[in-house]
Amino acid sequence: MKNKTSKMPIFLDYNATVPMRIVAKKSILEAIESPLNASSVHSLGREGRKKLEHARETLAQHLGIPASQIIFNSGATEGNNTVLQHFSNDKVITSAIEHPAVLEAVKNAIQAPVNTEGQIDLSALEELLIKEKPALVSIMAINNETGVIQPIKEASALIHRHGALFHCDAAQALGKINLNMQELGIDFLTLSAHKVGGPQGTGALAIGFCGITPTLLHGGGQEKSARGGTENVAGISGFGAALTETLASMDQEQERLKNLKDKLETELVKIEGITIHGQSAPRANNTTLFSLKGTSSDTLLISLDLDGFCVSNGSACSSGKVKISHVLKAMGVDNTLASATIRISTGWKTTLDDIENFIEAFKKIAARVAQ
């Protein structure tokens, strides 16, 4: 069915990108009104620097680290590559369910397994730590496909006990769970602005108290020589504005999204052939990854798109092709079921009407498949 209230499609793909928040748009527009280069010493340069430092302080307070340990960049992909390539001559362990921005950055990394619910197997991880003696371990905070929350604090304690450093891709976690780096024991943390309603192409690498500052891009004194290149003042300003609004209503918003998820999943499990992946594990309140037996992701995505719904089959792929998820493979899901999977991810603009419209449309699609 088409969206009853608007010709615009119903967007349920927030894990891919979040619609930009109004405050972020306003902040960006204000910043691009003037030629703000934060490295310049004149008044406009100082204005640009002020915007950068305000955003840096906002993020640092949330992460529980000094503002000087925030390095702005183009996003989590750059941050992941910055950290992982710094350790390219050392042994590195990643989880088997990491985003390609981690897995492709260190192709010779040792992969730690996850259980059938999609959480890192801590016993298996410890065995690898003892055997391989890595310099770095990379485990994401929240999986972008399943929404499963990883046991970060427990993993970091284990990793540090065996003498390794800990990198965490937290692109999906900002504004959803606690990310205090000291409390969680995170040495390197990577983020993207567009996952909280900021602009695409902006992000940050946050460094804990390990005493190491990985550097990927050289060529200038920007970001205290940790990341060469003129800072994206407008993008970073938008990031700070979006983050401020996200954090101000974080608890209430997470409760609202949990109610939407509960509504969705209560109705989904009534449909014969539905499997919700990672259902018994702690999950982000905005994410549901599920399969419908007897169909395919392609069929479901096309049918829902025709009905006016923007959803995904998991990780957004630059090729635009639907592929069987490496995350589901790592969880032991068979290929037939994995190839019949879609992901619903919600956010700040999602309404109860959106969820109810989706449920109604999906039930009709499932009924056609069952015939």
Query: Could you identify the residue written with the tokens 């615009």?
Result: 8
Cα(179)–Cα(186) distance, integer angstroms: 9
Size of the chain, expressed as the number of residues it contains: 371
Cα(336)–Cα(14) distance, integer angstroms: 26
Instruction: Please give the helix or strand (H or E) that residue 43 lies within, else none.
Output: helix 43-63
- The CA dihedral of 54, 58, 61, 65, to the nearest 10 degrees, is -60
- 168 flagged as catalytic: no
Q: What are 288's strand-pairing partners?
A: 344
The contacts of residue 169 (CB under 8 Å, 6+ apart) are 76, 79, 80, 98, 99, 101, 102, 138, 140, 141, 190
Cα(252)–Cα(223) distance, integer angstroms: 34
Which of 168, 210, 310, 317 is labelled catalytic? 317
User: Which spans in 323-371 are helix H?
Assistant: 326-330, 335-338, 352-370
What's phi and psi for 267, nearest 5 deg? -80, -35
> For residue 281, what is the DSSP state?
S
Q: In this structure, what token pair is assigned to residue 161?
A: 């006990």
Catalytic residue numbers read 317
